[in-house]
Homo-oligomer: A and B are copies of this chain.
Amino acid sequence: MARKKVAIVGMGFGGIRAARILAGHGLDVTLVDRNNYHLFQPLLYQVATAGLEQESIAYPIRAMARHWPDTRFLLAEVTAIDIDARRIRTVTGDISYDYLVVGAGSITNFFGLQSVERHAFDLKELAHAEELRNHILTAFERAVREPDPARKRALMTFVIVGGGPTGVEFAGALIELVHFVLAKDYPELSTQAARVVLVEANDQLLAAMPEKQRLYTLKKLRSMSVEVLLNASVVDASQERVTLADGAVIPAHTLFWSAGVKAAPIAAHLGTSRKHGGRVPVEPDLSLPGHPEVFVIGDMAYLEQDGSALPMTAPVAMQMGIYAGKAILAREDRQSLRPFHYRDKGSMATIGRSAAVASAFGMQFRGHLAWLVWLLLHLYYLIGFRNRTVVMLNWIWYYWFHERQVRLITRRRSSP
């Protein structure tokens, strides 16, 4: 009898965990991703703010797959999924499957704001982080040469939209980059005039956090001189300015968008009606309704628990990946698993050096302790001992010397 074939689309937090569970159990496992690496997205903002080299938060998929028996990797972009024929289509050929796990993640949601989509930076891929870092540093280089004081200031003004963890972490890391590092690099600029503006549509930051944490975050960011605008939203953008819903105009050369995500476009091929953000409703065992052989995990999956949808976060994706792997093995053993249940271990965000908020195990941490917990957990979840060492080295460096070394403006081909 031929071995059954499992295909896993997307090697994010969920995909790699499903693969690890499934490997070595007599199934042929094919891993598909359009990148040849697993990306640790939560640290992209540190690459964008010159704190980490991009290579330190990416880990080659083949370096993992080496240790997984009967597993092969295919570098390919999935263009379609034929649910009925049980085939995945890629630019370089089709893959048939008996079981399918889809965890292709999410992309930025600009909610139809075309001018924003054209001009805003976001952070979902490794290349985005490098582009944003190049852009920030180039803005300072241009500010040096800019004779007009208004334009000089606009070059040093950074508008961040969205007061969730990504927006908060990026805002804190950026203002520290400006005040601690770039202030020394650019003696010819008055970097005190630089502005970091955090725009949040709601009346609070980190809405998922308990109130004390939210207030601490707001106060801390403001004390670091981040301008936090609550109940405000961006409606228009150009290369040189950002317009808010109330008509306010902020002259700024950099707009960063972290106000929403939606399921990866491949979700449209799964043949179901979709929920808010394009997410795919799944059965309690994470399978696609009517297709028990297809599992949807991570940001793409829509599942309610205790009356509300599970959040689009890494911990949810990880637990779903493990569950999907186990569910397939159970099916093969003619066993059944209890429905998926997400165990919320808490959430956290770092604001700056020695400042973070965390709520975990029913407890709440702020300041130094939360920051330490944040560091350790991120190191723990980062893949690869070498990556951990390099990241830790960078953090120690920054902590002791207030120094971020990766202040490089990298380019592809040289201009002629």
Contacts and interface: CB of A to CB of B under 8 A. Distances in A.
Nearest to A66: B184
Interface in A396-416: 397, 403, 405-415
A77 interface: yes
B415 A75 contact: no
Contact of A397 (B35, B58, B137, B386): B386
Contact of A127 (B34, B406, B414): B414
A141 interface: yes
A5 interface: no
A415 B54 CA distance: 19
The interface residues of chain A, by DSSP majority, are classed as mixed
A108 to B, nearest CB: 11
A93 interface: yes
Interface in A361-406: 384, 386-387, 389-390, 393-394, 397, 403, 405-406
Contacts of A106: none
A186 B407 CA distance: 35
B92 A405 contact: no
A77 B415 contact: yes
Contacts of A53: 53-56, 390
Contacts of A37: 408-409
A141 B408 contact: no
Contact of A393 (B92, B137, B390, B407): B390
A240 interface: no
A326 interface: no
A368 to B, nearest CB: 24
A63 B126 CA distance: 25
B127 A408 contact: no
B66 A185 contact: yes
A127 B410 contact: yes
Interface in A159-186: 184-186
Interface of A: 34-37, 53-56, 58-60, 62-63, 66, 72, 74-75, 77, 92-93, 125-127, 130-131, 137-138, 141, 144-145, 184-188, 384, 386-387, 389-390, 393-394, 397, 403, 405-415
28 contacts: A34-B414, A36-B137, A36-B407, A36-B409, A37-B408, A53-B390, A59-B405, A60-B185, A60-B407, A62-B186, A62-B407, A63-B185, A63-B405, A72-B188, A74-B144, A74-B145, A75-B138, A92-B145, A125-B414, A127-B410, A127-B411, A127-B413, A386-B393, A386-B394, A386-B403, A389-B393, A390-B390, A393-B393
